[in-house]
Amino acid sequence: MRPFRSVRPMVCGVHAFIQQCASCGVQRASVPLSRCGAVHKLSVAVFASYAALLYSTASHQSGHNSGVIHSGIYYTPGSLKAKLCVRGAALLYEFCERKSIPHRRCGKLIVAVDQQEIPRLRALYERGLRNQVPGLAMIGPKQIKEKEPYCRGLMAVDSPNTGIVIYKYVAKSCLDEFWDYGGCLITDFEVAGIEMTRESPMGSEGMQYPVMIRSTKGEDVYCKYVVTCAGLFSDRLSQISGCSPEPRIVPFRGDYLMLKPEKRYLVKGNIYPVPDPRFPFLGVHFTPRFDGNVWLGPNAVLAFKREGYKLCDFSARDVDLVLFCRGLRKLVMKNFSYGVGEMYRAFSLSAQLKALQKYIPELSIHDLMRGPSGVRAQALDRDGNLVDDFVFDSGTGTIASRILHVRNAPSPAATSSLAIAEMIADEAAKRFGL
């Protein structure tokens, strides 16, 4: 990786520095964007809100997730999620091999533990086949035991193409490739404003660079086009450039438990439940990690701070938005008892243990310890429906032909990241008329 210093001089002259295509929070999208930039003779810059390079890659969702490379079973056939996950997983395995990023195809079982779940499990299997997920099979209790000796289940979908990786390493390798393509990383630049300039900035050759990006510290960068993919803040960045406030982002914190080291032998690969079709999350699962740990989780609890990783983290602005968001009030009313149950499980280890023992009965409370947390950016429409697929938006007015916001990139967006990035580059070329 190039040293931090080599990008710093770009930041020094930021008030006079002109970018041609700027992107906020899209490190992984930046490789295809910079390839796209090379084809169209544009220089590309990425803005990161952190000063230190270490925190500028995968600092939020991409660095606080389960680390699973999903194979694409769950998603509606024909949806962007389904197509981008299957392609993304193939691209990601190829990328990890090419860049020597540690990864493992350790497989996954989606396990039905009671009779009522079996029709849903069969439907998932059919879905996976329609999505062309490689290697899927339905297996019974004997084969479950062969693969996961401590797991009980009536039937399971076996997905050998599911794997694990550390997404921080993927993001760092993308950043290296981005630099190789001549991209520029502008750190310590939290975007606070995006607007069309009324007058040409000095030295900008007329109105060639009409979009002004302003940081929270008052620094300005002028550019031709902007792409944003700001995760938990994607609605706010869209809104500051004049787009609709909807869909809003609602933060859902996911807490993990971990197995104590002496109990890690209980889990070999990924073990997942049959998901509840009413919710977009996959349910509490068992995931092996590269450092030998086994994570259990995450749950899904409404968070009171967008980038708040602790149970008591709170932001008045974020809570304010939550209280006045009509869609969220509707969502809470519809799922009140489920939400209360998740909150209770977040506090009570024994309640979580009960859910986990359905799969591995031999687990006891003494085998568990609290682990890290992540916060999901879940887009929500006006009517309280969780938005399932990706959302692109440019808004209206003169800026619309110069800006592209990625407003919803939910799970499995880490798996799909390289495929999403290709799509962003194509979409940018189309919308900007490159």
Contact footprint for ligand FAD (CB under 6 A): 24-25, 47-49, 59-62, 64-68, 70, 190-191, 229-233, 237, 254, 298, 374-376, 409-415
Q: Which is closer to ligand FAD, CB of 42 or CB of 232?
A: 232
Q: Which is closer to ligand FAD, CB of 155 or CB of 321?
A: 321
Q: Which is closer to ligand FAD, CB of 43 or CB of 241?
A: 241
| In the complex, minimum distance from the CB of residue 252 to ligand FAD, in angstroms, rounded to a whole number | 8
| In the complex, minimum distance from the CB of residue 246 to ligand FAD, in angstroms, rounded to a whole number | 18
| In the complex, minimum distance from the CB of residue 63 to ligand FAD, in angstroms, rounded to a whole number | 7
| In the complex, minimum distance from the CB of residue 203 to ligand FAD, in angstroms, rounded to a whole number | 25
| In the complex, minimum distance from the CB of residue 261 to ligand FAD, in angstroms, rounded to a whole number | 22
Q: Which is closer to ligand FAD, CB of 273 or CB of 374?
A: 374
In the bound state, the residue with its beta carbon closest to ligand FAD is 25
Q: Which is closer to ligand FAD, CB of 230 or CB of 266?
A: 230
Are 229 and 414 a contacting pair, CB within 8 Å?
no
Tokens of 114: 């009671």
| In the complex, minimum distance from the CB of residue 196 to ligand FAD, in angstroms, rounded to a whole number | 18
- Residues 220 and 305: their CA atoms lie apart, in Å, by 28
Q: Say what the alpha-carbon torsion angle 272, 273, 279, 282 is, to the nearest 10 degrees.
A: 0
Q: Which is closer to ligand FAD, CB of 155 or CB of 378?
A: 378
